[in-house]
């Protein structure tokens, strides 16, 4: 399909998913406002309708709690096509929560760099907008570095798999293995929209819900969560997004004369980068991995999250070289014969790799966008171009699906992508890939 036609299709996906002030990720499957989706969506919207891009961010900020926390779902509207809804999350249990019902867990903090992208795409005309939202974006960084870093290391934890954005990556299997969650009866709706083989299992969902039930018992109190939660992980993608947002807010803060904020962000930033490299880089794997803070162990699994730190400029040149050598160009994620499209969401050589199931193998467009910009930042032109052309190939062949099979041979014979169709961030980031990247 011609680029122009696809751009028009991408715009209509975003138009159809627009609900008077914010964009849902996907009709039926995800009918509310999602945190990191909104960041990526706003970047795409900025190319076609700046007002909507700004509104997307402002709607997200309506969900901010008094302590700076921004939840992963905002229930502005009603819908019974999704489980678990507002009554399960019960955010009112925490005194910081706003009147607007939200979830009580968060998602990768893309807000800071999404604001910067809007500013850049507007040709630096949107300074007033940056001024309007800056303090709230700063508060979010402050929340993480003061409430989610119990050992003052510069790395923050996540306490739920939904906080990672990579819901069912095999990394979490290790945590579930030791959890004795009840056999809740679940009223799942996702499998009514999408083939169950592409989604997490019921047992996994019971663990997801069990964690929420624990948080409610603790009224979403951060201290109790840090002390007791069985899921307490320093995740490379999540921390990389936070660090990238530090960098963006330092640049924007200088522009606005926010000296105090810039000084504080710079302190968090430096410390974060130092610990990130010493604690999360794994030489044997040639990649960044995960740290399980609850059980004090490294989880040396490699996923697409392992490459996100390039986007935030965290890696030294030597680390970046070793990542590329091990994983790209006939490396682990390309396949020995380059038989894989970039970039699988989980280690394709692992026995847990499943090319059809959600975050256990398929390609996701937002991770591709993050990794593409990381490769470019470090001057890996050939790999960046490969990643971009694989991304465009998938979107041009299938349209704006949620995720895609990375096996070239299989993809040739397929007619559709996996998961939801008309998925907002796939459309939004296509627009950014064409207009800016
Ligand atoms: C799924 C994805 C998550 C995304 C959400 C809404 O839960 O795993 O990353 O934010 O859907 O699109």
Contacts of 46 by beta carbon, 8 Å cutoff, 6+ apart: 53, 117, 118, 121, 122
DSSP codes joined into one string, 370-399? HHHHHHHHTT-HHHHHHHHHHHHHHHHHH-
- Does 34 sit in the ligand 1 pocket, CB within 6 Å? yes
Catalytic, out of 247, 402, 405, 432: 402
Left (φ > 0), alpha (ψ -120 to 50) or beta: where does 109 sit? beta
CA distance linking residue 82 with residue 75, whole number of Å:
11
End-to-end CA distance of the chain: 20
- Does 36 sit in the ligand 1 pocket, CB within 6 Å? yes
Best mutation site among 30, 103, 238, 357 for ligand 1, i.e. most ligand atoms within 8 A of its Cβ? 30
pLDDT at 3: 84
What is the Å distance from ligand 1's center to 360 Cα? 14
Query: Are 96 and 69 contacting, i.e. CB atoms less than 8 angstroms apart?
Result: yes
Contacts of 325 by beta carbon, 8 Å cutoff, 6+ apart: 286, 331
Query: Are 375 and 384 contacting, i.e. CB atoms less than 8 angstroms apart?
Result: yes
Q: Under DSSP, is residue 101 helix (H, G, I), strand (E, B) or coil? A: coil
CA distance linking residue 161 with residue 158, whole number of Å:
8
Burial class of residue 343 (count of CB atoms within 10 Å of its CB; 0-12, 13-18, 19+): buried
- Does 165 sit in the ligand 1 pocket, CB within 6 Å? yes
Q: Pick the atom of ligand 1 nearest to 359's CA.
A: 8
Residue whose token pair is 């302190």: 267
- Does 167 sit in the ligand 1 pocket, CB within 6 Å? yes
Catalytic, out of 116, 167, 190, 222: 167
Q: Where would I find the beta strands (DSSP E) of 246-309?
A: 281-282, 287-288, 290-292, 297-299
What is the Å distance from ligand 1's center to 108 Cα? 11
pTM value is: 0.98
> For each of the chain's 437 residues, which pLDDT tens digit applies?
678 999 999 999 999 999 999 999 999 999 999 999 999 999 999 999 999 999 999 999 999 999 999 999 999 999 999 999 999 999 999 999 999 999 999 999 999 999 999 999 999 999 999 999 999 999 999 999 999 999 999 999 999 999 999 999 999 999 999 999 999 999 999 999 999 999 999 999 999 999 999 999 999 999 999 999 999 999 999 999 999 999 999 999 999 999 999 999 999 999 999 999 999 999 999 999 999 999 999 999 999 999 999 999 999 999 999 999 999 999 999 999 999 999 999 999 999 999 999 999 999 999 999 999 999 999 999 999 999 999 999 999 999 999 999 999 999 999 999 999 999 999 999 999 999 97
Question: Angle at CA 220, nearest 5°, toward 169 and 212?
Answer: 40
Q: Where would I find the beta strands (DSSP E) of 224-362?
A: 233-234, 281-282, 287-288, 290-292, 297-299
Contacts 24+ apart (CB under 8 A), 383-389: 383/324, 383/328, 383/329, 386/328, 386/342, 387/342, 387/343, 388/433, 388/437
Best mutation site among 34, 72, 161 for ligand 1, i.e. most ligand atoms within 8 A of its Cβ? 34
Nearest CA to 424 out of 155, 41, 132 is that of 41
pLDDT at 1: 63
- Does 362 sit in the ligand 1 pocket, CB within 6 Å? no
What is the Å distance from ligand 1's center to 380 Cα? 29
Please say if 167 is a catalytic residue.
yes
What is the Å distance from ligand 1's center to 32 Cα? 11
Query: Are 234 and 296 contacting, i.e. CB atoms less than 8 angstroms apart?
Result: no
CA distance linking residue 420 with residue 398, whole number of Å:
12
Alpha helices in 276-403 (DSSP H): 317-327, 365-377, 381-398
- Does 37 sit in the ligand 1 pocket, CB within 6 Å? yes
- Does 200 sit in the ligand 1 pocket, CB within 6 Å? no
Helix (H) or strand (E) holding 73: strand 73-74
């Amino acid at each position: 399909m011609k680029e122009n036609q696809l751009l028009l299709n991408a715009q209509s996906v975003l138009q159809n998913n627009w609900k008077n002030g914010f964009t849902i990720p996907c009709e039926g499957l995800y009918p509310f406002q999602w945190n990191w989706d909104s960041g990526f969506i706003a970047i795409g919207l900025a190319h076609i309708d700046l007002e909507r891009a700004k509104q997307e961010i402002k709607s997200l900020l309506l969900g901010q709690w008094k302590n700076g926390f921004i939840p992963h779902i905002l229930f502005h509207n009603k819908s019974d096509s999704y489980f678990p809804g507002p009554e399960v999350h019960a955010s009112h249990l925490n005194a910081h929560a706003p009147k607007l019902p939200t979830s009580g867990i968060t998602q990768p903090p893309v807000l800071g760099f999404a604001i910067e992208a809007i500013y850049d795409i507007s040709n630096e005309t949107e300074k007033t907008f940056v001024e309007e939202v800056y303090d709230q974006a700063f508060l979010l960084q402050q929340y993480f570095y003061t409430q989610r870093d119990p050992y003052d290391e510069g790395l923050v934890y996540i306490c739920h798999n939904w906080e990672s954005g990579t819901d069912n990556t095999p990394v979490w299997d290790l945590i579930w293995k030791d959890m004795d969650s009840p056999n809740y009866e679940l009223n799942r709706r996702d499998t009514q929209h999408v083939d169950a083989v592409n989604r997490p299992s019921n047992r996994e969902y019971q663990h997801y819900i069990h964690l929420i039930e624990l948080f409610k018992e603790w009224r979403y109190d951060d201290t109790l969560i840090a002390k007791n939660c069985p899921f307490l992980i320093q995740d490379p993608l999540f921390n990389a997004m936070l660090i990238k947002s530090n960098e963006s807010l330092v640049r924007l803060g200088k522009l606005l004369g926010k000296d105090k904020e810039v000084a504080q962000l710079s302190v968090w930033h430096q410390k974060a980068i130092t610990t990130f490299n010493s604690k999360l880089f794994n030489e044997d794997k040639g990649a960044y991995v995960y740290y399980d803070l609850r059980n004090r162990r490294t989880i040396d699994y490699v996923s697409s999250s392992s490459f996100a730190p390039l986007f935030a400029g965290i890696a030294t040149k030597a680390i970046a070289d070793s990542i590329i050598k091990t994983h790209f160009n006939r490396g682990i994620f390309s396949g020995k014969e380059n038989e894989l499209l970039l970039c699988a969401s989980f280690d394709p050589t692992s026995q847990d790799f499943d090319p059809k199931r959600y975050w256990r193998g398929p390609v996701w467009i937002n991770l591709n966008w993050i990794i593409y910009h990381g490769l470019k930042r470090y001057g890996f032109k050939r790999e960046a171009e490969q990643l971009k052309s694989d991304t465009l190939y998938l979107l041009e062949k299938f349209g704006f699906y949620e995720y895609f099979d990375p096996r070239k041979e299989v993809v040739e014979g397929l007619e559709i992508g996996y998961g939801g169709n008309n998925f907002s961030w796939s459309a939004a980031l296509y627009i950014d890939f064409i207009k800016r990247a």
